[in-house]
């Protein structure tokens, strides 16, 4: 209680040098000369004020005013204490002219020139405003299929994806970040082989992450080593039969080669789609948000590293409960305050009211708890934390429904079928938190530590930059030495370093020390209690084989994951969006 009261009075935010640099460069409001005209604390005030304004839309007069004041304070404290951060577009744009607050959008791609080029324009509008876009090209007729009106032939999904890619190059997102896209094709599309190999060359379609939408029927055919039919979406005709295992291997080979394509288990995503009246065919660029066409999602993440209570030797569950509830209200308010790039998106987003509350700093919290990431205890802890957050988030959404009503598309939803009156179709999603974890100063999403320490070039000198918590532990346990820190920084991890006590080594594991199987199992543990998807990279060692990738895909499928993305060490120099934090 004491600590909480203290936190309520924060008037500024503690930031690392890196966090400050990122904010100055891309987040803070600037004048014509490009100089920041707000301090970080002003940015958080701007965001808290703008998001709290939604309170005034639901309650008039005194009551509205009081709610505004209360939530302005709560939202501000939640951010200044670094316990919660909304996704980047909210930080950048709330309370400013653009007012575009969402990170993720999905657009339809109809099988017509009008449809394809309308969406191309909509993609540009969304990128300009700072959002990422996802598309499924599955409804497009295959390459060389007939075009009635001209008696010509179609150039196929991959060629149109290349056009979207080229357009992305020209639009810088809100002047702040490069456009990111997800391109998806169903595994039964006749052009699937061209699609899965279209990024084998690293210089192609560089603004897209690509994923294959894998069906249950395909996985069954792989299991049985059977044949699988490729179907023309224009007329339902079977164009070809392929051996499922061969196609599966091609997909795995691409992922082995350079991490592309990933896969999403599309039938499973639809089986859990809370609004089945709007089927899902694609995801956002990092694949955590499963959205029907024209839907959007605004994300926010809780920094778990700050919820360890030393006194209790456990999570401060009360504090976490309060933060989850406030965060859900914050994200529901974002839907009201958002300036949508298209009327269709406004209709769908307000209709479904999808929000995606996630976590970051999970690896940091595990370390404080003394639990290794790659352990049964680690998995059990992950489930416990995420179940708690998910349940509390639903409670908050129910309370909001009582106060403000259920979401407009409630009728026909799975929530209606269960008689569960909630305000939001979804509540939880785990985002990569690429930048906001850097701002909050914690480990990204649910990823293990990227490194315990790394060598940093500073004033022409190579200096070890060591995780401050590790320095603290090293001093406390009496094994600190500059020489050792340098050693850790050179190899990134503490693996095999005898100078570090065994129990410390066991807890301070990095993504490279963890086997693919444990990565997948951790993703599956979080998925059990998450409404939408999980952004997670399954790290493979450089010497991993194509069969290892296949094994990881099968495991992900059998454990109930909604998709999987692997990355083999050293297989690619640059990623469209890197989920881990590199030095
Ligand atoms: N995203 C994007 N461009 C970027 C980074 C992210 O469009 O450069 C979108 C994308 O949909 C991604 C989502 O934002 O899945 C969330 O990414 P992340 O959590 O890394 O964003 P942050 O809020 O930390 O900037």
CA atoms within 13 A on the CB side of 297: 34
DSSP letters spanning 37-66: -S-HHHHHHHHHHHHHTTHHHHS-HHHHHH
- Residue linked to tokens 């009081």: 66
The alpha carbon of 474 and the centre of ligand 1 are apart by a number of angstroms equal to 34
Distance 199 CA to ligand 1 centre (A): 21
Instruction: Tell me the domain boundaries of the chain.
Output: 2-99+312-438, 104-283
CA of 437, closest atom in ligand 1:
24
How far, in Å, is the centroid of ligand 1 from the Cα of 186? 24
Q: What is residue 549's predicted lDDT score, i.e. its pLDDT?
A: 98
Enter the DSSP assignment of 160: H
Atom of ligand 1 nearest to the CA of 445: 19
Question: Can you read off the two tokens belonging to residue 249?
Answer: 């291997």
Nearest one of 335, 343, 404, 432 to 90, comparing CA atoms: 335
User: What is the spatial distance between Cα 369 and Cα 502, in angstroms, rounded to a whole number?
Assistant: 16
Write down the catalytic residue from 87, 209, 284, 352: 284
**Distance from CA of residue 52 to its chain's centroid?**
25
Count of beta carbons in the 10 Å neighbourhood of residue 468: 10
Q: What is the pLDDT of residue 231?
A: 98
- Buried b / exposed e along 382-404 (16+ C-beta atoms within 10 A): beebbebbbebbbbbbbebbeeb
Q: How far apart are CA 267 and CA 120, in angstroms?
A: 27
Burial (CB < 10 A; 0-12, 13-18, 19+), residue 62, is exposed
Cα–Cα distance between 9 and 51 in angstroms, integer? 19
Q: Whose CA is nearest to atom 19 of ligand 1?
A: 433
Tokens read off for 255: 């992922």
CA-proximal residue: ligand 1, atom 12 (nearest): 286
Q: Of ligand 1's atoms, which has the minimum distance to the CA of residue 433? A: 19
Report the nearest atom of ligand 1 relative to the CA of 436: 24
Residue found under tokens 């086997």: 515
Position in ligand 1 atom list of the atom nearest CA 287: 15
Atom of ligand 1 nearest to the CA of 284: 11
| Ligand 1 atom with least separation from CA of 434 | 20
**According to the model, what pLDDT value does residue 573 have?**
66
**Rounded CA separation 116/444 (Å):** 35
- By most ligand atoms within 8 Å of CB, the mutation choice from 91, 341, 431, 446 for ligand 1 is 431
Give, as one character, the DSSP assignment of residue 534.
B
Cα 298 to middle of ligand 1, angstroms: 10
Active site residue 286: yes
CA of 312 to the centre of ligand 1 (A): 35
Instruction: Tell me, in angstroms, the distance from the centre of ligand 1 to residue 513's CA.
Output: 26
Instruction: Return the pLDDT at 582.
Output: 36
User: Is residue 284 annotated as a catalytic residue, yes or no?
Assistant: yes
Contact 413, 277 (CB under 8 A): yes
For 104-283, the fitting CATH number among 2.60.120.380, 3.30.200.20, 2.40.10.10, 3.20.70.20 is 3.20.70.20
Q: How far apart are CA 274 and CA 282, in angstroms?
A: 15
Of 198, 286, 297, 442, which residue is the catalytic one?
A: 286
Residues comprising the chain, all counted:
583
Asked if 424 is an active-site residue, the reply is no
Residue minimizing CA distance to atom 13 of ligand 1: 103
Q: Contact, 530 vs 390, CB < 8 A?
A: yes
**Of 164, 262, 285, best ligand 1 pocket probe by most atoms within 8 Å of the beta carbon:** 285
CB 470 within 8 A of CB 500: no
Q: So what's the pLDDT on residue 456? A: 79
Instruction: Please name every residue paired with 298 in a beta bridge, in sequence order, or none if there are none.
Output: 355
Residue nearest to atom 21 of ligand 1 (CA): 433
Q: How far apart (Å, rounded) are the C-alpha atoms in residues 486 and 492?
A: 10
Mutation pick for ligand 1 pocket among 286, 433, 440 (CB with most ligand atoms within 8 Å): 286
Choosing from 288, 319, 392, 550, the catalytic residue is 288
Q: Pocket of ligand 1, candidates 106, 107, 132: which has the most ligand atoms within 8 Å of its Cβ, to mutate?
A: 132
In this predicted structure, what is the pLDDT of residue 460? 74
Rounded CA-CA distance 304/361 in Å is 5
d(CA 343, CA 525): 37
DSSP 392: H
Using a 6 Å CB cutoff, which residues line ligand 1? 87-88, 103-104, 131-132, 177, 180, 284-286, 288, 299, 431-436, 577
Q: What is the enclosing helix (H) or strand (E) of 369?
A: helix 362-369
Report pLDDT for 583: 32
Instruction: Report how far ligand 1's centroid is from the alpha carbon of 132 (Å).
Output: 7
Residue 91 alpha carbon to ligand 1 centre in Å? 12
Q: Write out pLDDT tens, residues 533-566.
A: 999 999 999 999 999 999 999 999 999 999 999 9
Q: Which residues of the chain have pLDDT under 70?
A: 1-8, 172-177, 458-459, 573-583
Residue 458: the pLDDT is 67
Q: What is the radius of gyration, based on Cα positions, of the chain?
A: 24
Q: Give residue 433 CA to ligand 1 midpoint distance, Å.
A: 7
Q: What share of the chain is helix, strand, coil (3-state, %, to 5)?
A: 45, 15, 40
């Amino acid at each position: 209680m004491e600590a909480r009261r203290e936190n309520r009075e924060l008037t500024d935010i503690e930031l690392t040098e890196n966090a400050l640099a990122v904010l100055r460069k891309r987040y803070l409001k600037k004048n014509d000369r490009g100089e920041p005209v707000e301090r970080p604390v002003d940015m958080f005030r701007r965001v808290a004020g703008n998001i709290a304004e939604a309170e005034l839309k639901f309650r008039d007069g005194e009551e509205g005013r009081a709610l505004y004041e209360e939530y302005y304070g709560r939202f501000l404290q939640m951010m200044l204490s670094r316990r919660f951060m909304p996704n980047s577009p909210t930080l950048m744009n709330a309370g400013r002219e653009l007012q575009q607050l969402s990170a993720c959008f999905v657009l339809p791609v109809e099988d017509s020139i009008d449809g394809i080029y309308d969406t191309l324009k909509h993609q540009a509008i969304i990128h300009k405003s700072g959002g990422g876009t996802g598309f499924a090209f599955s409804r497009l007729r295959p390459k060389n299929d007939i075009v009635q009106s001209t008696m010509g032939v179609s150039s196929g999904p991959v060629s149109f994806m290349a056009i979207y890619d080229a357009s992305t190059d020209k639009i810088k997102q809100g002047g702040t970040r490069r456009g990111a896209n997800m391109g998806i094709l169903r595994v039964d599309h006749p052009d699937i082989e061209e699609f899965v190999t279209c990024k084998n060359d690293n210089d192609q379609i560089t603004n897209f992450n690509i994923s294959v939408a894998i069906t249950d029927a395909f996985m069954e055919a792989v299991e049985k080593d059977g044949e699988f039919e490729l179907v023309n979406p224009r007329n339902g005709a079977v164009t070809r039969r392929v051996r499922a295992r061969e196609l599966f291997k091609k997909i795995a080979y691409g992922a082995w080669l350079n991490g592309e394509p990933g896969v999403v288990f599309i039938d499973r995503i639809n089986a859990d789609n809370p609004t089945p009246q709007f089927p899902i065919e694609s995801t956002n660029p990092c694949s955590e948000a499963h959205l029907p066409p024209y839907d959007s999602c605004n994300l926010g993440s809780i920094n778990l590293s700050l919820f360890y209570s030393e006194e209790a030797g456990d999570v401060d569950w009360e504090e976490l409960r309060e933060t989850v509830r406030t965060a859900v209200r914050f994200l529901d308010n974002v839907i009201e305050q958002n300036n949508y790039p298209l009327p269709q998106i406004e209709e769908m987003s307000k209709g479904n009211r999808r929000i995606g509350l996630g976590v970051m700093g999970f690896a940091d919290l595990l370390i404080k708890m003394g639990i290794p990431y790659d352990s049964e205890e680690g998995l059990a802890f992950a489930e416990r934390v995420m179940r708690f957050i998910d349940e509390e988030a639903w409670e908050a959404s129910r309370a909001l429904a009582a106060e403000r009503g259920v979401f407009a598309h409630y009728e026909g939803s799975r929530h209606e079928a269960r008689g569960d009156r909630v305000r939001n179709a979804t509540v939880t999603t785990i985002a990569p938190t690429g930048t906001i974890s850097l701002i909050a100063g914690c480990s990204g999403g649910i990823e293990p530590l990227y490194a315990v320490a790394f060598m940093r070039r500073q004033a022409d000198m190579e200096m070890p930059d060591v995780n401050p918590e590790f320095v603290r532990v090293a001093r406390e346990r009496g094994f600190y030495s500059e020489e050792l820190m340098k050693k850790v920084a050179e190899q990134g991890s503490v693996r095999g370093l005898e100078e570090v006590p065994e129990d410390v080594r066991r807890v301070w594991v990095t993504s490279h020390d963890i086997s693919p199987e444990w990565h997948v199992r951790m993703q599956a543990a979080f998925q059990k209690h998450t409404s939408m998807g999980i952004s997670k990279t399954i790290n493979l060692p450089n010497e991993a084989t194509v069969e290892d990738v296949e094994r990881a895909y099968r495991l992900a499928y059998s454990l109930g994951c909604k998709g999987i993305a692997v990355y083999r060490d050293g297989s690619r120099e640059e990623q469209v969006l890197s989920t881990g934090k590199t030095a």
